[in-house]
Amino acid sequence: MLRHEPAIALTPSGDGLGALRAIVAGAARPLVAGGWLLLEHGFAQAAAVRDLLAGAGFTDVETRRDLTGHERATGGRRPAP
pLDDT of residue 7: 61
pLDDT-flagged residues of the chain (< 50)? 1
In the three-class reduction of DSSP (H, G, I as helix; E, B as strand; rest coil), residue 4 is classed as coil
What pLDDT was estimated at residue 80? 84
Q: What is the dihedral of CA 58, 46, 20, 64, to 10 degrees?
A: -70
Give residue 53's pLDDT. 97
Count other C-beta atoms under 10 Å from residue 75's C-beta: 18
What pLDDT score was predicted for residue 64? Answer: 98
H-state helical runs in the chain: 7-10, 18-27, 46-55
Q: Please name which of 55, 60, 5 lies closest in space to residue 38, comparing C-alpha atoms.
A: 60
Domains of the chain, CATH where assigned: 7-77 (3.40.50.150)
pLDDT at 8: 59
